[in-house]
Structure formats: structure tokens, C-alpha cells
Structure 1
Amino acid sequence: MIGCFPIPYKDEFIYSILARYNLVSSNGSEHITSNELFSRPMWEIKMDLFPYAKKIEMKLEHFNFYNAVEIIENFSFFNYYKKLSGNKDYFQSLMLEERPGRIKNELYCHDIEIYNAYYYRFCLKCFERDSENGVPYWHITHNLPGVTYCEKHQCKLVSSDVKFNGKKLIALSNQVKISELPLLNDWEEKILKLISEQTVYLFYKKDSTRDTNTAYISYLYESGYLKDFALDEKSLTNDFMLFYSDSICKIINIDKKYVISTLIRRIKEAATGDIHPLFHILFLIFCGKKIKHLNENNQLTIPFDSDLFIEKTCKCFDGFFIHNSTLRFRKEGLIGSVKCSCGNYYGIESWNMKIEVRYGEKFTEQVGELLFVEDLPISEISSKLNISKSDLKNYLISRRNSARY
């Protein structure tokens, strides 16, 4: 039975907790510690997608330590990866079931570890503060993909000589060798600060975003990359490649051509939930947006003539937002739809530009109330519900016909 175990600090990375335990234990090596905690060799343990939280929970249950879900949410990269994932519950189940390979293969379709820094990073000012308050430790937010600045102190991080996901458990101390990250020009440093800021914001963001695809098509339209309802892939690729310099890409370990080609493919497939979070952040910064703009209550600019919708929508319709709008590419062009709070659905296809209407239960109740209770004529009902008399008659005929069967 484990006799003592470190109490985690705020923003402490699971690697740091394990390294501090290895230091104070009598194990003598990380390989003994790894076998003691996980019954696995050290080289198999991945710290970013930490799939051994259940084992930690069971080993430390006599301490009333954090449970498995709390461990992955507080001390791993789980929050970073799940916030923009289309299937966060499935993501969590894979981590708790000790299946890191399936996270990479099924959710991201490529090796996501290549976007981690090669060596652990830390902030010298945080090091000094943490040493005064207790002991220095490796912070999660200093080691998320793409982070080169400390959000708290707004200073550039330094790189250590401790390999990320390496075979050693090394606690942060004065013995760790450091090297400074390359200093770029003012514009490039501004971009690196934005990437760091948005990454930390994403990590601590409370809610998850379900549909980034619609927002991204809207942003492409605002930026001028949608022409005749088709994506101008060549211009988008060229501009993206120019926006991110080779120096920035080298520091954050990305191939910008692969990033933009992946973004284009996933947006066209309506599969942006499968994009690496760093790709999301790079795309948003390129479009002049931030993660906060993906809030479901934010308004959208749609590529279609909004007057076409307004003519057909009911009076309770309050506009186009991320939570009620959908934009998707199809081979023929672009399709768009919006759902009103009353349940009515309005769809349009770019190749015929006609609004398709499907009425919800609330609309049916309203028609019934006005027609059978208040006994109003068709003309007055259509005026109250913002629907043409012919459309209302067609709706009533379709309801009557469906009731027969």
C-alpha cells in the first residue's frame, strides 16, 4: 500500500504529480514507480492523453484522492481535447477505459502527439512564485500544444531538457537545464501570444461547442472565401500559408500546408469535431475570431439572402445564431437551414434558392387555437402567423391527408 502521495497544486500536470511522488518515494526509479502505479513499463505511459486514471484512483482510494474523472479533468489534457470535440462523452469513455490509441485513431485519424512540445516548458516567474509557496512544478497550461507564453505573467516560456512523454520522471527544480525559445519579430510574437491565450482559454472554457462547422462556413463567407456558394480553396490556402510564417510553424510543431488542407477537407465533410484543437485555434485567429465567438448564442452572418428567410419565418423568429442555424457543403453547392424556437424549420439549397418549410408542434397548436377555438378566418390566421394564405391552406390540406392514414 502506498504510504504517502503528493497533494496536487492548481494547474499541475499529471506528469509533475507523478515525478514528485517518484522523488519522495523509496522506489529509486521511475520504472518501479510506473509498475507500482500502473503495472506497466514507463515507456508506455502517455501523459497528455492519460488513460490510467482508474488505476490511480484505485491505488489511492485510502487517501480519499481525486476520482478518475476528476484526475483526467484537472491534471491531463482532457479538457483541451474535449471542448471542441463532437463526441466528448465518447472521448471520456476512451480515456477511462485505458485506450489512448483509439482516441488518436478514431477521433483524430492521425498521431496527435506530434503537436506537443519536444521538451517540457515552464515560466521562470511561476517557478519563483511556486518555490516561495511550496515547490516548483510543471504546469498543464505551459505544456499544451502551441503554448509559448505564460498567460498569468505574459512572458515567454523557457524550454527544459526534460523530454515530453519521455522515459524519465523528473520533478521541476533548479537542476533542470533551460534554453530560451527563439525570439521572433513583433508580428510573429503577437500571433504566438494569441495562440497561447486562446489555448489556455479553451482549456478552462466551461462549456463545449457542438457545431463549429456552421460557424466556420460563416467566417469563410465574411472573409470573402465563399464565391457563388463554393469555397475558394486556392485563395484560402495561399492566404493561410502567408499568414503563418515558417518560424511560427517551427516553434509550434506544425506543417501549415497540412493544417489548412485538413481544415478545408473537414469543413467540406462537416466533420470539424475531428480537427485537432490547435488547428481550430489557428483557423479562428486567421479569420480574426476567438474561441468566445463560438458561443452558441452568438449571431451568424449567413451566405444566403436573409430576406428570403424573413419572408417565410414566423413572427417569433429572432435571427440567425450558432445554436439555431446549420450550414453544410454539398456537391451541388451549399445548404442552409434555421430552426425557430417554436420548432418550425426553414431550409434552403443554393442551387434552387427556394425555402423549404417544416412546421413544428407549437405551430400546429397555434393554428388549432386560432382556427377551432377563436374561429378566425384563414386570412387573419395567416397574418398572425406570418404565413401566406396559400401556404396555410397547403399546410391544412397536408395535415388532413396525413390524418386519414
Structure 2
Amino acid sequence: MWEIKMDLFPYAKKLETKLEHFNFYKASEILESFSFLNYYNKFLSYDNKNKLRNLMLDERSGWIRKEIYCHEIETYNNDYYKFCLKCFEEDSVSGVPYWHITHNLPGVTYCERHKCKLVVSNVLFNGKELVALSSQVKKSVPPLLSDKEEKILKLIAEQTDYLFHTKEDISKYIPLYISYLYDMGYLNGFKINEKKLKKHFNNFFSNNICEVLNIEKEFVISKIIETISSSIKELHPLFHILFIIFCGRKIEDLDKSNLILTPFNSELLHKTCRCFDGIYIHNSSLRFRNKGLVGSYQCSSCGNAYNINSWDKKISVSYGSSFSEQVLELLFIEDLSISDICYKLNINVTELKNHLIFK
């Protein structure tokens, strides 16, 4: 049976039983507060989130590794526990020092609270034996990289900490990755310029950083491209964080930048609304298929929802409530003609008449 490392320990029910006298947490609460569950499940489907939680509660450690992210759970974790010297001092004064979850998440090399480099202990991160953090634990200080490289490592720690603590469903922003590539010039028509994207991604993350993170750049960006092209959400959280940083964004700001230029050519743009100088979207589920772009998106102003198949240049529209209000205002308050309304709202006469009849 596979050994699962301490990040997804399947011992919550045993802890609940042993600590029952002290009115401690329930098993489910232990998983939420003292395991990596909140990290790994951010990009899992609803069914797999429940499967992961149930496997941990049912103490089936071998199945955890087999079912969730396959080898990636083990590959990108640490070999040894890490800790922050300043946290250790503070914990020693206020109580008992302990291993912090956020110090040992994949890719983390900085303490987000104190903004300082973590030190590496000699305690193996293998799930077989848990050694308490104390002054007896030997430690080593990792060498500093260049200022640019350390800045990226700090960003990874910051974004990982936010991802772990947020209650928001981050996976809903994955369809917007297409627009990030469009804004950065990596879309040619409806096809990702993989050669250019891979080259820039590989240059952005140095070999030193990849060695620290234990990643292969080519593999990471290939998996990211596969995820974007197919709209698959289930990719290791570390890969998502690396892509978001590469795009110059932060997880906590994704909802604020949810109005993004759509990667549509001029033949499709003229069929959509004219609420902005450019065309903006939200609630997107756009994905690539057969070298075309398919899916749906919604205008954040008028509420119009569009379904698109790029290869046959067809768009079907579901008009929003704001659109209906615009039509009535133009018709009865501004007293515009049907043709003037059609021009202003970028809609043909037949569609407008049908909309008014059904309303």
C-alpha cells in the first residue's frame, strides 16, 4: 500500500476519538483546519472533493494517492518539514511551537506572515513518524537566489497562502485563462501559439526556481495548455499559481478583473452588443475544440448571454434584463425608431421584433 505523506493524513477519526475527552474538533473539522485538504480541493470537481474528504475520513491512505492527482501529490511536496524562525520564537513564548501547514504547502519557501525565508528541518515529511518541532530539531538555511528569483518565490508563497485560506471557488476563473493569453498575445486566431508561450514561460521561471519547486517547466506549461484548451479544472494547484503569476495577476484580484477582452475576431465582434468601447465578458465557459473556440460568455453590462461556435461564425443570443430595459427606454423615453434602436444596440430588426413580442 502506498504511503501518503502528512499533507492528507487519514487519521482524523482516530484523533477525534483520542481527544474526545477534551471536547476537541470533530474529524471533519480536523481535516478542514489541520490538513492540506483546503489546498488540494480548490480545483477538484464537486464529486472528487467529496471523494477526497471521504477517503481521508475512511482512513484509506493508499487510495488517496491513487485517486487524486496521481503522482503529483508526492512529487511536488517537500522532503523535509520547513518552519519560520520568527514563528518558532513567537509560538515558544505563547505556548508550544508547531509545524505550520502554510509553511509546508507545495512550492512555499517563505513565511507569509513575517516575509522571511523558511528554514529546512531534518524531519522527514513522510507520514511514518511525526516529530514535534523543538529546539532540538536540526535546521539548514537554503541559499538565496537572485532578487528577481526570490521575488517570484515570495509571490508563490503569498498566492499559496491566499489559496489555502480563501473560501471562494477559484476554479470558476479557469475559463478566463483564454482571455489572459489573448491579452498577452499568445492567441493567433483561435489557436494558442504554443511555441511562443512555452518559450516565454520557460524564460520567466529560471532553472534555479524550478529546482527549488521540483518542477519541469516543459511539463508544467504543457499541462496548463492542455487544461486551457479543454477547460479541464483538475490540475495541481501549484500549476495554477505559477500560471497566474506568469500572467501578472493575483488570485484575490481575479474577481475584480472579471471584465476581460474576448479573443474574437472582427467577424464575430460585430454580432455582439456595444456596451463598451471593446467587448467584455464574464461568466465565461469558453474552450478550444477542433482549433476553434466554443462555449458561452455574458456581457457584464446588459446581461446578454452568447453561445458561440467560432468555426462556423455563429452566435446565439439570450437577452438579459438590462437589455430589455434599454430597449424600452429607447423606444418610449427617447422615442427612437426601430431602425435607430437596432443600430444602437447592434441587433437586426427581426431579432428586436421577436424580442419585443416575447416580452
TM-score band by shorter chain is 0.7 to 0.9
Question: Any idea what SS the aligned residue of 2:308 has?
Answer: strand
Corresponding residue of 1:141: 102
TM-score calculated relative to the size of structure 2 = 0.83
Q: Judging changes above 3 Å, is the alpha-carbon distance between structure 1 residues 311 and 332 closer, same or farther for their aligned structure 2 residues?
A: closer
CA distance in 2, matches of 1:384, 1:59: 72
Kindly report which structure 2 residues correspond to 1:53-68, keeping only aligned pairs within 5 A, or say none: 53-68=12-27
Corresponding residue of 1:338: 297
Whether the 8 Å CA contact 2:285–2:295 is kept in 1: the answer is: yes
Corresponding residue of 2:225: 264
- 1:292 is matched by which residue type in structure 2? E
The Cα offsets for residues 182-234 of structure 1, whole Å up to 9 and x where unpaired, read as: 22111111111111111111111131223233121111111111111100111
Deviation at 1:100, TM superposition (A): 4.5
Question: Any idea what SS the aligned residue of 1:351 has?
Answer: helix
Corresponding residue of 2:311: 351
Deviation at 1:168, TM superposition (A): 2.2
Whether the 8 Å CA contact 2:190–2:291 is kept in 1: the answer is: no
Q: Which of residues 146, 167, 173 is equivalent to 2:134? A: 173
Whether the 8 Å CA contact 1:105–1:111 is kept in 2: the answer is: no
Q: Are 1:329 and 2:329 counterparts?
A: no
How many residues of Structure 1 are paired with residues of Structure 2 in the alignment?
Answer: 351
Gaps of 5+ in 1: 1-40, 371-375, 400-405
The Cα offsets for residues 306-347 of structure 1, whole Å up to 9 and x where unpaired, read as: 9956854498xx97454x222210113112522368875312
Deviation at 1:270, TM superposition (A): 1.1
The worse-fitting range, judged by mean Cα deviation, of 82-91 and 142-151 is 82-91
Q: Judging changes above 3 Å, is the alpha-carbon distance between structure 1 residues 380 and 239 closer, same or farther for their aligned structure 2 residues?
A: closer
* Structure having the higher Rg: 1
Corresponding residue of 1:20: none
Q: Which of residues 239, 247, 259 is equivalent to 2:208? A: 247
Deviation at 1:93, TM superposition (A): 3.5
Question: Please, what is the CA RMSD of the aligned residues?
Answer: 3.7
Kindly report which structure 2 residues correspond to 1:199-348, keeping only aligned pairs within 5 A, or say none: 199-271=160-232, 273-295=233-255, 298-304=258-264, 312-313=272-273, 320-322=280-282, 324-339=283-298, 344-348=304-308
Deviation at 1:381, TM superposition (A): 12
CA distance in 1, matches of 2:230, 2:86: 44
Question: Any idea what SS the aligned residue of 1:165 has?
Answer: coil
Question: Any idea what SS the aligned residue of 1:326 has?
Answer: coil
Gaps of 5+ in 2: 330-334
CA distance in 2, matches of 1:96, 1:314: 52
Whether the 8 Å CA contact 2:4–2:64 is kept in 1: the answer is: no
Kindly report which structure 2 residues correspond to 1:64-103, keeping only aligned pairs within 5 A, or say none: 64-87=23-46, 88-103=49-64
Q: Report the identity percentage.
A: 56
- 2:310 is matched by which residue type in structure 1? S
TM-score calculated relative to the size of structure 1 = 0.75
The Cα offsets for residues 54-81 of structure 1, whole Å up to 9 and x where unpaired, read as: 3322333332211122111111111111
CA distance in 2, matches of 1:384, 1:56: 67
Deviation at 1:178, TM superposition (A): 0.8
